[in-house]
Amino acid sequence: MNFTKFKFILIFVSFFILGSGSVKAFDAPETFSDLAEKLSPSVVNIATTSVVKQRQQAAPSFEDFFNFPFNAPRQSGPTEKTVNALGSGFVISADGYIVTNNHVVENTTDIQVTFTDGVTMEAELLASDKETDLALLKVSTDKPLSFVEFGDSDTAKVGNWVMAIGNPFGLGGTVTAGIVSARGRMLAGRYDNYIQTDASINRGNSGGPLFDLDGNVIGVNSAIISPSGGSIGLGFAIPSNLANNIISQLMTNGEIKRAWLGVRIQEVTDEIAKSVGLNKTYGALVQGLTAESPAAIAGVKEGDIIVEFNNKEVESQKILPRLVAEAEIAEVASVKVWREEKFIELSVTLGIQPSAEVLANIESNVSTISIKELGIRVKGITQDDRSRLELGNNLSGVIISDIDPDSFLVRQGIAVDDIILEIQGKKVQNSSDLLTVIDDVIAQGKENVLLVFYAGQNAKKYIGAKLSVK
């Protein structure tokens, strides 16, 4: 589209709106000055110091825009240097608790906050949550500080006016205004639920507040999408309802505890939906379950498609982790799954999400099953296996954990870590699938099965194996 055509379209749209008697115009507030004056004392500039390793920076697309170094330009190479960076934050209590983004203060050696009156204080990082990119700071003060409160982000509708205050490019106390452009944006994180705004925010705004016209914080400005590093009207804020919950936990417990279902999931494609008889493409396909997890105990099975969680539709795989995280620990959640061309309602008592280290340990110790007829032991594919073997998340099957040196499969080049995809033309989702088919073959008086192994890069290896029925 050339400039002339673009200008024509702008003129045309303006003419249409002005000429239509059915469209009602809603004026912007006459001024934001009173609101800005009232709220600015509660917004702080944050300056951090950290030691980082130098590396060549790739061209940006999705930017965490707080990091505005004001020392020498970056250089390629593994050397270390001190980096000063700027961000924003806001005070939520008179005694000095401050909210900002985790990426503003992560791995820093020094945090300084500066108020609108020029007073600078050293801040302590009390706790943070990397998953939601939130952090809680504390300054010591002898006098009560001006503070702001979280509002209800669910009331922020698309088209509502909002105001941002922050420290873009080190220019503290900068006020910008715009509207809520969209809700429920998902960018890169598991729990993303961003409010999108066209209020101008740039590097240095990160961690600052997004206000409604009542002066309540409805979002924490966190990211922009920009090809250049500057604002193009695509800013994203963490909703206050999520932020308030996380900050409350950090303030009370110093850590975050989330509800846990215990499933490994993948996206439902059009092809998958059609193959299982779903009338539309939605939900999260259960690729695997953690042993003794809440979902496993409640009867969720591999191959199930979770279409609703607590009566909320699972529009896509990405939605489910956020819905589970928003639920209460020990809550009995309703889970609707699609299984064998019918809906099944299950009740799941949610657990506490294990740490990444604990979960990895759980999954690495998944019980193995002996398939003596083939001289192998197999187990489900864990996330550790997928990372270690670069399998991706869409591959389903069982992995060989041990193999008898005398097994026929060894002579066919099969080894530990090879993956069985199919047996006798049937897909293998778990170990019991193998046992069921082998038992059926033996019951029919047969001795041979056709196995399909994963050979890498979406290739398959077919092997006719003779069963040992001693």
pLDDT tens, position by position, 323-372: 998 888 999 999 999 999 999 999 999 999 887 656 655 554 555 778 88
Rounded distance between C-alpha atoms, residue 76 and residue 263, angstroms? 41
Q: Give the three-state DSSP class for 81.
A: strand
Of the three residues 353, 382, 408, the one that is the final residue of a domain is 353
Exposure letters 97-108 (e unless 16+ CB within 10 A, then b): bbbbbbbbbeeb
Closest CA relative to residue 104, chosen from 242, 235, 194, 207 = 207
Question: Does 403 fall in a domain?
Answer: yes
Q: What is the pLDDT of residue 468?
A: 81
Block residue for tokens 């490019």: 169
> What is the helix (H) or strand (E) element at residue 19, kind and residue range?
helix 3-19
Block residue for tokens 């698309």: 158
The residue that leads in pLDDT, 175 or 393, is 175
- Shared-domain flag, residues 300 and 396: no
Q: How many separate domains does the chain show?
A: 3
- Shared-domain flag, residues 293 and 216: no
Active site residue 103: yes
Q: Give the three-state DSSP class for 248.
A: helix
Active site residue 142: no
A 10 A CB-CB count for 420 gives 24
Q: Give the three-state DSSP class for 106.
A: coil
pLDDT tens digits along 160-183: 999 999 888 877 788 998 999 988
Q: What pLDDT band is residue 111 in, cutting at 50, 70 and 90?
A: very high
- Shared-domain flag, residues 153 and 249: yes
User: Are 169 and 192 a contacting pair, CB within 8 Å?
Assistant: no
- Shared-domain flag, residues 290 and 397: no
User: Are 161 and 28 a contacting pair, CB within 8 Å?
Assistant: yes
- Shared-domain flag, residues 328 and 433: no
Structure tokens, 339: 């299984």
Question: Does 377 fall in a domain?
Answer: yes
Structure tokens, 3: 């400039």
* Active-site choice (42, 88, 103, 433): 103
* Active-site choice (42, 64, 88, 133): 133
- Shared-domain flag, residues 343 and 417: no
- Shared-domain flag, residues 233 and 266: no
Expressed as residue numbers, the domain containing 199 is 33-253
Rounded distance between C-alpha atoms, residue 467 and residue 450, angstroms? 10
Question: Does 18 fall in a domain?
Answer: no
Of the three residues 232, 253, 274, the one that is the final residue of a domain is 253
The CATH number that applies at residue 68 is 2.40.10.120
Q: What is the pLDDT of residue 317?
A: 86
Question: Does 379 fall in a domain?
Answer: yes
- Shared-domain flag, residues 99 and 178: yes
The model's pTM is: 0.62
* Active-site choice (42, 181, 206, 240): 206
Is residue 90 exposed (0-12), middle (13-18) or buried (19+ Cβ within 10 Å)? buried
Rounded distance between C-alpha atoms, residue 466 and residue 450, angstroms? 9
The CATH number that applies at residue 417 is 2.30.42.10
- Shared-domain flag, residues 269 and 121: no
Block residue for tokens 């982000």: 153
Question: Does 153 fall in a domain?
Answer: yes
pLDDT tens digits along 431-465: 777 888 888 888 788 888 999 999 877 788 899 98
> Strand pairing partners for 90?
43, 99
Question: Does 14 fall in a domain?
Answer: no
Question: Does 8 fall in a domain?
Answer: no
Q: What is the mean pLDDT of residues 185-198?
A: 79
Q: What is the pLDDT of residue 18?
A: 35
Kindly report each contact of residues 114-118 with a partner whose C-beta sits within 8 Å and lies 24 or more positions away, as own/partner.
114/44, 114/45, 114/46, 114/47, 114/172, 115/41, 115/44, 115/145, 116/40, 116/41, 116/43, 116/172, 116/173, 117/41
Of the three residues 353, 380, 403, the one that is the final residue of a domain is 353
- Shared-domain flag, residues 232 and 315: no
Question: Does 95 fall in a domain?
Answer: yes
pLDDT tens digits along 232-288: 778 899 999 999 989 999 999 898 888 999 888 888 888 889 989 999 999 999 877
State which of 74-78, 133-137, 301-305 shows the largest mean pLDDT.
Answer: 133-137
- Shared-domain flag, residues 265 and 386: no
Q: What pLDDT band is residue 230 in, cutting at 50, 70 and 90?
A: low
Phi/psi region, residue 375 (left: phi>0; alpha: psi -120 to 50; beta: rest), is left
pLDDT at 17 over 60: no
- Shared-domain flag, residues 68 and 93: yes
